[in-house]
Structure 1
Amino acid sequence: MNQESNSIDTKELSKSFEPKDLEAHWYQEWNKQGIFAAGQYTTTASEECGQPFTIQFPPPNVTGTLHMGHAFNQTIMDGLIRYHRMLGNDTVFVPGTDHAGIATQIVVERQLDAQNISRHDLGREKFLEKVWEWKELSGNTITSQVRRLGASADWPREYFTMDEQMSKGVIETFVRLHEQGLIYRGKRLVNWDPVLGTAVSDLEVESCEEQGSLWHIRYPLSKPSGELTHLTVATTRPETMLGDVAVMVHPEDERYRHLIGQTVILPLVNREIPIIADDYVDREFGTGVVKVTPAHDFNDYAVGQRHGLSFSSILTLDAKIVDDAPEAYRGMDRFEAREKIVADLQALELLESVKPHTLMVPRGDRTKTVIEPMLTDQWFVAMSKPAPEGTYNPGKSITETALDVVRSGEIKFYPENWTNTYYQWLENIQDWCISRQLWWGHQIPAWYSEDGQIFVARDEQEALQKARAAGVTGSLRRDDDVLDTWFSSALVPFTTMGWPEETPDYKRYLPSSVLVTGFDIIFFWVARMIMMSMHLTGQIPFKFVYVHGLILDANGQKMSKSKGNTLDPVDLIDGIELEPLVAKRTTGLMNPKQASKIEKETRKEFPDGIEAYGADALRFTMAAYATLGRNMNFDLKRCGGYRNFCNKLWNASRFVLMNVEGHDLSGKDGVELSFADRWILSQLQKTLTEAEKGFKDFRFDNIANAIYHFVWDEYCDWYVELAKVQIQHGSSAQQCGTRQTLINVLETILRLAHPIIPFITEELWQKVALIAGKRKADETTSISVQPYPLPDAKLLNEQAEASLNQLKAQVEAVRALRGEMSLSPAQKVPMYAQGDATLLARNAPYLQALGKLSQVDIVTELPDLGAPVQILEDTHLMLNVEIDVEAELARLDKETKRLETEIQKANGKLGNEKFVARAPAAVIEQEKERLANFSELLAKINEQKNRLAK
């Protein structure tokens, strides 16, 4: 390559790395070039060339904004996509958002509340218009934030779980499953949010530890047995006693066995209810007697089914006492009724005692109201019913099929231990309640005749046809309920590819390659996608499931708005001043004390706000945290460290560009690689091997650490410094070899790191690749579609590595000598070196430059100067520095006393039996290590004193 062909204006590369402008520029440029579209694979010789590699967004809520979990998830997904694009795969990264039924409806209803308008005032049609308006205005916020992270998604494929294609798939799924007898309507116990007025999923219920009471209530026996006139029942919810249908004891409890089959009088209601026996009762809890209220407790519901008991609901859907309850409590709020019931029991001398009790209270994650188990008419998916003939796996339930594909290894979890969680949930699964009493969402495609017949159809016209065929002539009313958000989300893997039609995308890109998700939705989303995909398409939805932990704050606490410890990834990218940060963390908090506390903590933790770290530093941090299956304590210092890494890479690139640009790299005078050149090439191959294995094993932490170590420690701190010596002192052929190695290794580094830090690598690569001959001056291309570097075993060179390790040890020895003699970095001194003359002659220029030496004199024997000596096998190194013997002996005497004192302290601790018996093993080991280090250092000082005293 001649000078003209590789000329580049390095002034374009600014002195410091400023991420904001280049991030905006390159994301726009990537979109402009169509880099993210399917089919943009490289022409590499990789076996992956042209093979599909698909990832789909776990659709974030359209109501949401980016949080740290999203930043982590996007880093992993985009890293995989960019890696496989560079390998030559036909990559498809499908973006999308979820309509988030409950969350979105709450947001819009609160906006209306501020105007004193309810959704019922507007009516369903007008209300839904308001929701769609809000979605268009602010619903795309989160996807714009995802772009800031550098997600290389195929944006024209972006889906919304209520768009036309998704809705078509949802309706088709509902109708098919209903026709197959796998969707049914029935009265079952569900989680009910009285404020929202809808059933909610387990995922939307928070179990909160709270202080409550355990009330002991006397239930009179209908026929007293000797001195026993009543049974004492322990309960945490006395208001539900109005719906009791039995009391229950353990069948082997000697205290009560003789009463099984008799009855008690239900206090306040004066109704006889039976005494039954069931193994569910814990004889040690309370009195060993429990009340049974099947309509308001999930465990009691199961008991009621086992024993054929009646079900008596005592609460309305807004959590008030029903009209057929005793008159004194009708229409009362459940907690108001609790107080009156307890007072009335006390007045009747039926309240035996009240004891403090810690209990888990189920609360709605959005309304924070106490969730009420409620018996209501809902739609369900039959999870354990055998699939009928004509389906993918007749005779087996959709649950069994979903278990089979994981047990057979068709779908693999990383880490593997999450398969046990998957199995446990599916093996104990209940039928899935899929209906919600909301207006926003996929309205259930079922129509009712006036006499209550149900017609499930793809549209109203089809429903009418079915009704007429059944002899129904009147009008039909559509079901008001909508489907659980997880129902449509479960269809994402195949509806986004065009199902129910077998489109080209459906045939090529299903199944997806990998699903990246948190462990908390294995039950609610992952399992249901597998069930639905297998049943409806006969294909697995994805091949691998990468399960990651939670991003916690630096103290290991879960991030939440109420704790005021959340971090917005965009704030870490752009930076944010203190006052806007305080406002962001405290706005919307209802509790002024809490807001004041959070403000105080924020001002203390971030007195100057948050610095701008850039997207690359944030992504590198997330990758480094990605240890399989672990929660991650997020520390901003890590972001600062990886921003420093970006600066280091930037500055190294500037050095390389300045020292290679304009120089002949063609090797017309020959090319000679030094042992240092061959060493860095060998180290590079080992790093490429680590990265390759890291991607295969989904170990992004190993990838990040390998890149960091190689770039910072080996390339920048060692090779660049060695290259300076070679460029200054080497022959023309050696200089050419060094410049080739500098630029080629750097170009490889940029491709190696691109999947994790895409912006800085693209900016640098455009300039480096021009000099390295990897792109032409008039060519518009991107690092994104260059081949990912793969290891070449032929470049491994153990001999060069051994030689370089010897040199490293010698340089470190020189630095140790300088430190021992307290020489300033600016003070250059000569050095004597005794040992292998050939080896020392080769290393001398490097030792002189890296050891800050004025010269290196190779001698057969060191002179007797009294100066410290470093011995490395057969090599002896000594700085040629005149020493004030008396002053040095005085300094060494002082250091000797200090070390003797420390040794005495350490021996004292280790000789103390109480300390050894009580201290943790790690502390004892640390003390032993301190003693060994002090002793070793003292021996060296004594040796030095002996030399000086001669």
Structure 2
Amino acid sequence: MAEEMSKNYDPAVNEPAILQKWLDGDYYKRREGVGDCTVTIPPPNVTGILHMGHATDDSIQDAIVRMARMRGRSTRWILGTDHAGIATQTKVDKKLKSEGISRLEIGRDKFIDACWDWTHEYGGTIVEQIKRMGCSVDFEGERFTMDPEYAEAVRKVFCDWYHDGLIYRGKRIVNWCPSCTTAISDDEAEYKEEKGHLWHLRYPLTEPVNGQEYIVVATTRPETMLGDTGVAVSSKDPEKAAFVGKTVKLPIVDREIPIFDDWHVDPNFGSGFVKVTPAHDPNDYAMGEAHGLEKINIFDEHAVVVEGYGEFTGMTRDECREAVVAWFEEHGLLDHIDEHEHSVMHCYRCDNTLEPWLSEQWFVAVDKLKQPALDAVKDGRVTFHPARWTDTYTTWMENLKDWCISRQLWWGHRIPVFYCEDCGWEDACMDDVHVCPTCGGTHVHQDENVLDTWFSSQLWTFATQGWPQKPEMLEGHHPTTALVTARDIIALWVARMVMSSLYFLDEVPFKDVVIYPTILAKDGSRMSKSKGNGVDPMDLIDMYGADAMRFNLLTLCTNNQDVKFDADIDKKTKKLKGSPRTEQARAFVTKIWNASRFLLMNMDGYTPGEPVAKTAADAWMFSRLAKAVKLVTEGIEHYTFGEMARGVQNFFWNEVCDWYVEVTKTRLKDDEDRLQAQRNLIFVLDTSLRIMHPLMPFVTEAIWDTMPASWLDMKADGTCERAEALMVAAWPEPADFERFIDEPAERSFELARAVVSDARSTRARYRISPKQALPVVVAAHSAEAAEALEGMSSFICGLANIPEMTVAIDAGFAGKPEASIALAGPDFDAYVVVGDLVDFAAEKARLEKELAASEKELAAAERTLSNEGFVAKAAPEVVAKKRERAAELTDTIAAIKAQLVDFA
């Protein structure tokens, strides 16, 4: 056994070998069992690569699935990728352009072939990265949103909703990207604060009003005035009432347009007169609908001015803006210009400024869909974790508008609506139509648009499981257990999945929605390639191993909305230099390996058997182990990963390794007690490895491979039946471990630990050899504590090298012994007698000198930090280090003052 474990654990060697073992054993495949755990992985873009959000998401999902598999549940973890319409088309467009080819030149069919070639070439990257993380998904059951079966499901949803009156075509304002030449949903538009101007333009009145010959409108977009068909004032602005019902002569185009009042207008914005361009602003569109205004689209799909506008025709938006402002200034109609900062929509893909644009699109009418989806969350069928995200969901659903589902792309699910050019027939059809069913004509064509990517991905939980072709595959596996995802797609994806699943299956798509925190850069900003502050999970795996990366990410999963990732990145090369917290996680992995190796090196003569609490340490350890089993089980069940991960690390490192293994070492040398000590140690180690496996699968599997059977593997007849791999071994159920919980034993042992720690810390503080015996006097604060300490006195004295320990209750305590160090605690005060081993006068002088130096340095640091100029101008990392040093000095000063009490 021991010889099978190498001296050092090398993730680069061990992880690939363990991964191959899992794959060869088909352990990832769907397994049937009692109870269900089905999870669908949020489909990443087919041509994407793993980022920190993916890595966090996948670490959480794997923990959920691995525990369920070990509990004997029926497990399905469904992997798949999304065709990513805009992203993929953009990349293929760029590739063709680099080859001197245009999409329009080769035509739709050949372009789609090029997209398929692209996905085949680059589509496997992220899947291989997920595999390398150790994610136990069924790779053989991988799905793709453009698979034929999936495409059929998408088509059915469109056709059913179309025929049920939930899908319609209409001309409305959409967010249009002139670069990608497609509509973008409101939720995908990115808002950026930009410095601009507020132009005040004079519009001549057709007839003077109260001696006034013109009005002044204020606008951030003077170029769109070419499409103005009205001017609005606030209904609550009495000063403008005289103008309502009058008209102005629109400059340049010489169009007479009305002035009206409307609730959309803010009377405090600009001059109080607002130009209304119904084809280029959503609020203006609403006002245009209410007041019967003409909707004039002045831009084409590339945001270039269309024919009919003289010298302005053919200009881009920016060119038109300059020309319009110059025209107004030349004709004395430019009143003045103000500096103005405002929020501008950008395309999430190409970063181009979006254009509110009137165009004909396909929409889903959501009125019949949103209330059932709201009810599902309100009545608890779908639960958000953390619970605060429920408000985000309900607020969005309550204000939900009809969903624009058409995209002006070639790559994607083409809208299955067919038109007859001869008789005007139109219908949504499951099969392609070449001959008109009404007139028999052959001039039939399909709609040119494709569906929004989110339309197809809304079916993810059920279309990946055989719907509609094989609905029996869903039985017992839907609703799925949990959806683990990011907060920014609660509206885009989560809500739409609930709506579609309720409509087509009459059940929710998942029971729990787990929202993981957004992983930010070290300085709190968003990670991005352009900033050079992004962290590649693969670099972390190369540097520290998959277990360390996964465990670190799980510790960050708290109730916080955002968390900072402490990566050090080279400013010049933008390469990862290190990550202190991931380094700490690797240290934990190493600790698990080294402690396990030590135990297995001392297993000569071992045979499996029942654990028996023969000592106080055994009883304490078994009780703590039972609570650790409960902690991890409930932590995964309730999705409290950060608290759970930190708790299990404290348990294994500080309790198992630093205490239980240490106090049990001597028993391994006792022939009479050796076998029981071995059985207890293997029982504790085996149980610990099982509960840590979902969090750190590689190292735990590697160790378990070398272990003998434990009590957990024993059958009623005394024989052992050991699983083929840890990942399919039985989970330690909390109910089976309840009998080990012993609160009095824990209480007593914790008191003993505290006395031992006091003696050890005194030796360390005053540089006294561990071999030097030190008497201890304890003043217990209660009779219970005194009794427990007296009962543990032999254990304490032996472990801490204490020749004599005197225990008294506070009331009978004679007072602080001479030449002793006092250590106060919640249950007792300990006095470690050091005698002449410590020069009290010299030690006091040394501490006072150290205190003065620390206080001086702290004062200087606080003066620097209180300087607003320094904080504003210094680099963030410099300020952060200064604050960290001030905090360290504060702690140091408090510790020194506590020590000085000993010399008072």
Q: Paired residue for 2:342? A: 359
Matches within 5 A, 1:342-353: 342-353=325-336
2: CA distance, partners of 1:76 / 1:290: 51
Residue of 714, 717, 738 corresponding to 1:793: 738
2: CA distance, partners of 1:785 / 1:278: 67
2: CA distance, partners of 1:737 / 1:752: 23
Q: CA deviation at 1:877?
A: 5.7
2: CA distance, partners of 1:157 / 1:148: 17
1: CA distance, partners of 2:893 / 2:114: 73
Q: Paired residue for 1:856? A: 803
Q: CA deviation at 1:567?
A: 0.9
Q: Paired residue for 1:307? A: 291
Residue of 142, 148, 160 corresponding to 2:126: 142
Q: Paired residue for 1:26? A: 18
Matches within 5 A, 1:245-394: 245-325=229-309, 327-384=310-367
Are the counterparts in 1 of residues 64 and 637 from structure 2 also a CA contact under 8 Å? no
2: CA distance, partners of 1:889 / 1:188: 86
Q: Paired residue for 2:431? A: 459
Residue of 622, 635, 656 corresponding to 2:553: 622
Quickly say closer, same or farther: Cα 1:104–1:894, change in 2 above 3 A. Answer: closer
2: CA distance, partners of 1:165 / 1:640: 45
Q: CA deviation at 1:701?
A: 0.9
Write out per-residue CA displacement over residues 116-164 of structure 1, whole angstroms, 9 at most, x where no aligned residue. 1011121111111111111111111111101111111112221000001
Q: Counterpart of 2:820 in 1: which secondary structure?
A: coil
Code of the residue aligned with 1:830 in structure 2: it is A
1: CA distance, partners of 2:564 / 2:384: 23
Q: Paired residue for 1:398? A: 369
Quickly say closer, same or farther: Cα 1:22–1:40, change in 2 above 3 A. Answer: farther
Q: Counterpart of 1:515 in 2: which secondary structure?
A: strand
Q: CA deviation at 1:282?
A: 1.0
Q: CA deviation at 1:275?
A: 0.2
Quickly say closer, same or farther: Cα 1:169–1:941, change in 2 above 3 A. Answer: same
Are the counterparts in 1 of residues 820 and 834 from structure 2 also a CA contact under 8 Å? no
Are the counterparts in 2 of residues 556 and 633 from structure 1 also a CA contact under 8 Å? yes
Q: Counterpart of 2:475 in 1: which secondary structure?
A: helix
Quickly say closer, same or farther: Cα 1:847–1:572, change in 2 above 3 A. Answer: farther
Code of the residue aligned with 2:514 in structure 1: it is Y
Q: CA deviation at 1:931?
A: 8.5
Q: Paired residue for 2:403? A: 432
Matches within 5 A, 1:179-194: 179-194=163-178
Are the counterparts in 1 of residues 196 and 340 from structure 2 also a CA contact under 8 Å? yes
Q: Paired residue for 1:815? A: 760
Matches within 5 A, 1:665-814: 673-728=614-669, 732-733=672-673, 735-770=674-709, 774=713, 781-791=724-734, 792-814=737-759
Are the counterparts in 1 of residues 249 and 255 from structure 2 also a CA contact under 8 Å? yes
Write out per-residue CA displacement over residues 730-775 of structure 1, whole angstroms, 9 at most, x where no aligned residue. 5613x33322211100100000111111111111112224366738
Code of the residue aligned with 2:430 in structure 1: it is R
Q: CA deviation at 1:778?
A: 10
Residue of 544, 552, 560 corresponding to 2:528: 560
Write out per-residue CA displacement over residues 865-889 of structure 1, whole angstroms, 9 at most, x where no aligned residue. 96424578889665566548xx543
1:650 aligns with 2:597: no
2: CA distance, partners of 1:204 / 1:871: 60
Quickly say closer, same or farther: Cα 1:624–1:436, change in 2 above 3 A. Answer: same
2: CA distance, partners of 1:864 / 1:526: 65
Write out per-residue CA displacement over residues 882-911 of structure 1, whole angstroms, 9 at most, x where no aligned residue. 548xx543443454576699899999x99x
TM-score by length of 2: 0.89
Are the counterparts in 2 of residues 844 and 856 from structure 1 also a CA contact under 8 Å? no
1:889 aligns with 2:841: yes
Quickly say closer, same or farther: Cα 1:848–1:442, change in 2 above 3 A. Answer: same
Code of the residue aligned with 2:844 in structure 1: it is L
1: CA distance, partners of 2:832 / 2:42: 63
1: CA distance, partners of 2:268 / 2:136: 58
1: CA distance, partners of 2:613 / 2:519: 50
Aligned-residue identity in percent: 38
Q: CA deviation at 1:351?
A: 0.4
Q: CA RMSD in A?
A: 3.2
TM-score by length of 1: 0.84
Range 872-881 or range 888-897, more displaced: 872-881
Q: CA deviation at 1:96?
A: 0.2
Q: CA deviation at 1:830?
A: 2.4
Are the counterparts in 2 of residues 217 and 352 from structure 1 also a CA contact under 8 Å? yes
Q: Paired residue for 1:215? A: 199
Q: Counterpart of 2:235 in 1: which secondary structure?
A: coil
1: CA distance, partners of 2:301 / 2:588: 58
1:448 aligns with 2:419: yes
Q: CA deviation at 1:333?
A: 1.4
Q: Paired residue for 2:875? A: none
Matches within 5 A, 1:575-654: 612-628=543-559, 630-635=561-566, 636-654=579-597
Write out per-residue CA displacement over residues 156-203 of structure 1, whole angstroms, 9 at most, x where no aligned residue. 221000001110101111111111111111211111111121112224
Q: CA deviation at 1:817?
A: 2.8
1:522 aligns with 2:490: yes
Code of the residue aligned with 1:793 in structure 2: it is E
Q: Paired residue for 2:117? A: 133
Code of the residue aligned with 2:14 in structure 1: it is L
2: CA distance, partners of 1:548 / 1:858: 51
Quickly say closer, same or farther: Cα 1:208–1:837, change in 2 above 3 A. Answer: closer
**Structure 1 unmatched ranges of 5 or more:** 1-7, 42-49, 385-396, 575-611, 916-921, 943-950
Q: Counterpart of 2:412 in 1: which secondary structure?
A: coil
2: CA distance, partners of 1:519 / 1:212: 31
Write out per-residue CA displacement over residues 582-604 of structure 1, whole angstroms, 9 at most, x where no aligned residue. xxxxxxxxxxxxxxxxxxxxxxx
Matches within 5 A, 1:472-551: 473-551=441-519
2: CA distance, partners of 1:137 / 1:925: 52
Quickly say closer, same or farther: Cα 1:123–1:714, change in 2 above 3 A. Answer: same
1:12 aligns with 2:15: no
Q: Paired residue for 2:139? A: 155
Quickly say closer, same or farther: Cα 1:898–1:511, change in 2 above 3 A. Answer: closer
Q: CA deviation at 1:555?
A: 1.3
Q: Paired residue for 2:903? A: 941
Q: Counterpart of 1:685 in 2: which secondary structure?
A: helix
Q: Counterpart of 1:460 in 2: which secondary structure?
A: coil
Q: Counterpart of 1:856 in 2: which secondary structure?
A: coil
Quickly say closer, same or farther: Cα 1:497–1:935, change in 2 above 3 A. Answer: closer
Number of positions where the alignment pairs a residue of Structure 1 with one of Structure 2: 852
Q: Counterpart of 2:294 in 1: which secondary structure?
A: coil
Quickly say closer, same or farther: Cα 1:94–1:631, change in 2 above 3 A. Answer: same
Are the counterparts in 2 of residues 906 and 930 from structure 1 also a CA contact under 8 Å? no
Q: CA deviation at 1:926?
A: 12
1: CA distance, partners of 2:230 / 2:815: 101
Are the counterparts in 1 of residues 613 and 619 from structure 2 also a CA contact under 8 Å? no
Q: Paired residue for 1:394? A: none
2: CA distance, partners of 1:876 / 1:82: 46
Q: Paired residue for 1:832? A: 775
Q: CA deviation at 1:628?
A: 3.1
Quickly say closer, same or farther: Cα 1:252–1:841, change in 2 above 3 A. Answer: closer
